[in-house]
Structure 1
Amino acid sequence: MSATLQHTPLADVHVAAGARMVDFGGWSMPLAYGSQIEEHHAVRREAGMFDVSHMLNIDVAGPQATDFLRHLLANDVARLTVPGKALYSCMLNPEGGVIDDLIVYFFAPDRWRVVVNAGTADKDVAWMRQVADTHPYGVTITPRRDLAMLAVQGPEARARVWAARPAWQAATENLGAFSGAQVAADTLVARTGYTGEDGFELVVPGADVATLWNDLVAQGVRPCGLGARDTLRLEAGMALYGQDMDESIMPAQAGLSWTVSLKDPEREFIGRDAVELNADPCVFLGLQLQERGVMRAHMAVRTAHGDGEITSGTMSPTLGVSIAMARLPVGAQPGELADVDIRGKWVPARISALPFVRHGKPVQHS
């Protein structure tokens, strides 16, 4: 592997397992260990796991940590009052564009954790420190590159984690969605994920992750790569930073208005003025191709209401047809027909609400 790429603590484990390694945001990461489709189905039907140690855990601490995060993030962390609870949010620039999408965990009013994407991690830390210093807030911002992270997903995922780590079950079996428990020093078990399936995301010391990975393999959890992760998240209607949104895209343009909290008129979060001034310029919906072919990002879409563009597209292993997410003109509605330009040919597609799949089954939208 190239010395210019960063490596997770599991890099040698992936290579030994025969993974095809690729450059993902400057990290050497497994694309697949064999059949990407079989990895996809393992998550939908049983249990699969992903090395997501390239993502960065950032600890935010200090007496003004809550005020800092209420200003930094578009969603309102004041909603979090139970230790271990988490929420999903966008971090915006003053123009309302998405710097990153992330998860933030509440441990105490003066102790939080933010989990950010790998490709934006350095930029995110720099932005957080700039905001903290400018106001200033009495917080410390600590990147935790000493930690590793696994996502164990699927209907059997939790049971197999408990089989591998029985001591964790008591503290985690009653966790609700978007909740976590600290089961040991620097060890967090959270009921979160990026696949549309149940499961856990596990944060452990980097020195411990290879043993945990091997113990999970022994319990029948299938290693999965980025290829399956992408088809799973797209079926689940979950946005990918850098593809479905970036600093030029507002949350509403990526179907993420629900992550922006405007309830407190006194909360002046970064980007609020821009978000409130700009009415939704488009709608973010799904597409299902009606003929053979595969939709991909940046393909043009035409509808009865005007033109749009695909942001993510793939062949859905669960549905057996090509699916996509797209920015479409206001007025476009689920159930209507559209056309997609696939290599110079306009191919019919049906507009769909999101998600396409949840908990292993196609979603039937009313």
Structure 2
Amino acid sequence: MFVTPLKQIHIEMGANMGEFAGWEVVTNYTSSIEEHLAVRNGIGLFDVSHMGRIIVKGKDSTQFLDYVTTKNVLKLSPGKISIPTAMLNYEAGFVDDISLFMLDEKEYLIVCNAINREKNIQWLNCIAKEKNYSVEIIDITFKTCMLALQGRKIKDFEERELNLNIERDSFLKNIKILDCKVEILSKSGWTGENGYELILEIEEGKKIWKKLLTIGIKPCGIVARDSLRLEAGFLLYGNEISEEINPLEARYWIFSFNKGEYIGRKKLESLLEEGINKIRIGLVMKDKGPLPRKGNEIYSGNKKIGYITSGGYSPTLDKGIAMGYVEPKFFFLGGSVKIKIRDNMFEAKIIEPPFFKK
């Protein structure tokens, strides 16, 4: 199991640790609901060092990445992020959904899901070799750490500590925050709130973690991060997306037909004509009761029409919420379905995520 470089700090602070995607990570510090609400109402700090960080550079890097990802890399400029974008397989299934940072004219950073880091590196190397692209692919995950600073009151932190103006989906390189050197500071996140993600050398990461806590920012774990992303309607690899699920089924509009050829494009075009056999929906439970969970079946009357991919309690709504897939003919916003939980049926309404409004 891989270990976050901040593990010792977390343990000394009394964090509960657990496993996620082959990493030992913080599950929670206090109550995960308390941590969730800290982000919705204030600012929370997450150690997300488990996320993969891969450099792609070389004379063919731009053309290579334009071929292996779904958005137009040729339109990126240094300091900008394509977020989210995706790498698809030849059947248009998700190899991964990623963030792509343009660091320099011929140098990029991919931030990817932890579970897919090794697979992604193999995929990139394989395509580069097969198509004879001159690129270098370097895994910097274990040489750096990554933090996420997220929350509704992030503006207060910006005015007090940053004194910087960064546009959404942009980043700065090599800056100082709280006397700590930050390699990359991006205006991005995965909670549905405004915020920043920081990539730092390990010792600088340890320093800034401690300093951020001294100014009253709440440390949070991965349980709160997951409930925040579910409320925001963000898709999780292995749940809503996988190698067997395509962007049309997921209703994940992170691809473009206004660019050249890329892996998965031909299959996407044929799927537009052929149609799809499942489609992603959002669900809100009608009443309080057992919470929907991954794997629960979805019914219309007595007919099984789909399944839950992510589900749980929404602290913001004080209700159970979920995402899942159903047969397309049953996708009606505002429509009612039933979810089978522990051999009992519970009513839910089909909605369009996100599940909360800023």
TM-score by length of 2: 0.92
The question of 1:294 aligning with 2:291 is answered: yes
Query: Which residue identity lines up with residue 126 of structure 1 in the other structure?
Result: Q
Secondary structure at the aligned position of 1:270 is classed as coil
In structure 1, stretches of 5+ residues that fail to align are 360-366
Match of 1:363 in 2: none
Give the whole-Å Cα distance in 2 for the aligned partners of 1:323 and 1:336: 15
For 1:284-317, what per-residue CA distance to the aligned partner results, in whole angstroms no more than 9, with x for missing partners?
A: 1100011222000111112379601111000101
Whole-Å Cα distance in 1 between the matches of residues 290 and 296 of structure 2?
Answer: 12
- Following superposition, the deviation at residue 21 of structure 1 comes to 0.7
Counterpart of 1:128 in structure 2 is 124
1:119 match: secondary structure: helix
Q: Which amino acid aligns with 1:214?
A: K
| 1:138 alignment partner in structure 2 | 134
Among 230, 233, 245, the alignment partner of 1:234 is: 230
Match of 1:268 among 244, 261, 271: 261
2:7 aligned with 1:11: yes
Deviation at 1:208, TM superposition (A): 1.0
SS where residue 102 of structure 1 aligns? strand
> Is the CA contact (8 Å cut-off) linking 1:48 and 1:157 kept in structure 2?
no
User: How far apart are the structure 1 equivalents of 2:185 and 2:278?
Assistant: 37
SS where residue 280 of structure 2 aligns? strand
Does the CA-based 8 Å contact 2:80-2:102 persist in structure 1? yes
Q: CA deviation at 1:158?
A: 5.1
Q: Partner residue of 2:171?
A: 180
1:49 CA drift (Å): 0.9
Conserved 8 A contact 1:188-1:203: yes
The one of 151, 155, 162 equivalent to 2:148 is 151
Over the matched positions of the two proteins, sequence identity in percent amounts to 33
User: How many positions carry a matched residue from both structures?
Assistant: 346
Q: Which residue is 2:325 aligned to?
A: 327
Specify the alignment match of 1:201 in structure 2.
Answer: 197
Counterparts of 1:111 and 1:358, CA distance in 2:
37
Aligned partners of 1:182 and 1:189 also within 8 Å: yes
SS in 1 for 2:284: strand
In the TM superposition, structure 1's runs of 4+ consecutive aligned residues that sit over 6 Å from their partners are none
Instruction: Single out whichever of 78-87 and 24-33 deviates more from structure 2.
Output: 78-87
Matched-pair contact (CA < 8 Å) for 1:237–1:355: yes
What letter matches 1:302 in structure 2?
Y
Q: Which residue of 2 aligns with 1:92?
A: 88
Change (3 A) 1:107 1:121: same
By how many angstroms is 1:162 displaced? 6.5
How far has the Cα of 1:254 moved from its partner? 2.0
| Equivalent residue runs for 1:1-366 within 5 Å | 5-144=1-140, 145-157=142-154, 159-160=156-157, 163=160, 166=161, 169-170=162-163, 173-184=164-175, 187-256=183-252, 258-264=253-259, 267-278=260-271, 279-291=275-287, 292-303=289-300, 307-331=305-329, 332-359=331-358
